[in-house]
Amino acid sequence: MAKFREVEVKVFREHAHCDCGKGELVPDGTMRMTDPPQFPHRCTACGHVETFGERFPRIITRTVQ
């Protein structure tokens, strides 16, 4: 029989920032139906578009040591 244990984790929100140094890359509301799917993001300052395999900001967890 499987045994289970609880571990403490911290939750983080990870943002993507543009290379222009001024804006954040946010989803443009579309998803490319590729394999795997791709998510275009547009910079809030300069309009640069970059595509990622997931949407940002994203929620990640890390185990507390």
- The predicted structure's pLDDT at residue 4: 96
CB contact at 8 A, 39 and 31: yes
Q: Which two tokens stand for residue 33?
A: 């139906």
The residue assigned the tokens 């799917």 is: 37
Give tens-digit pLDDT for 41-50: 999 999 999 9
The residue assigned the tokens 């499987």 is: 2
**Which pLDDT band, with edges at 50, 70 and 90, does 6 fall under?**
very high
- The predicted structure's pLDDT at residue 65: 83
What is the Cα 26 distance to its own chain's centre? 9
